[in-house]
A and B are shown apart, each in its own frame.
Chain A
Amino acid sequence: DQQVKQNSPSLSVQEGRISILNCDYTNSMFDYFLWYKKYPAEGPTFLISISSIKDKNEDGRFTVFLNKSAKHLSLHIVPSQPGDSAVYFCAASDAGNNRKLIWGLGTSLAVNP
Chain B
Amino acid sequence: DAGVTQSPTHLIKTRGQHVTLRCSPISGHKSVSWYQQVLGQGPQFIFQYYEKEERGRGNFPDRFSARQFPNYSSELNVNALLLGDSALYLCASSLVAAAFEQYFGPGTRLTVT
Which A positions have Cβ atoms within 8 angstroms of B? 4, 32, 34, 36, 41-46, 49, 51, 89, 91, 93, 95, 97-106
Establish whether residues A99 and B42, one from each chain, have CB atoms under 8 Å apart when the complex forms. Answer: no
The chain A residue sitting closest to B10, CB to CB, is A41
Establish whether residues B98 and A101, one from each chain, have CB atoms under 8 Å apart when the complex forms. Answer: no
Q: List 18 A-B contacts (CB under 8 A).
A: A32-B100, A41-B106, A41-B109, A43-B90, A43-B105, A43-B106, A51-B100, A95-B98, A98-B48, A98-B56, A99-B98, A100-B45, A101-B92, A101-B102, A102-B45, A103-B42, A105-B40, A105-B42
Which B positions have Cβ atoms within 8 angstroms of A? 4, 6, 33, 35, 40-45, 48, 55-56, 58, 90, 92, 94, 97-107, 109
Question: Distance (Å) between the CB of A92 and the closest chain B CB?
Answer: 11
Alpha-carbon separation in the docked complex, A34 to B46 (Å):
19
A93 to chain B: which residues have CB within 8 Å? Answer: 100
The chain B residue sitting closest to A94, CB to CB, is B98
The chain B residue sitting closest to A51, CB to CB, is B100
B6 to chain A: which residues have CB within 8 Å? Answer: 43
A101 to chain B: which residues have CB within 8 Å? Answer: 33, 35, 43, 45, 92, 102
A97 to chain B: which residues have CB within 8 Å? Answer: 56
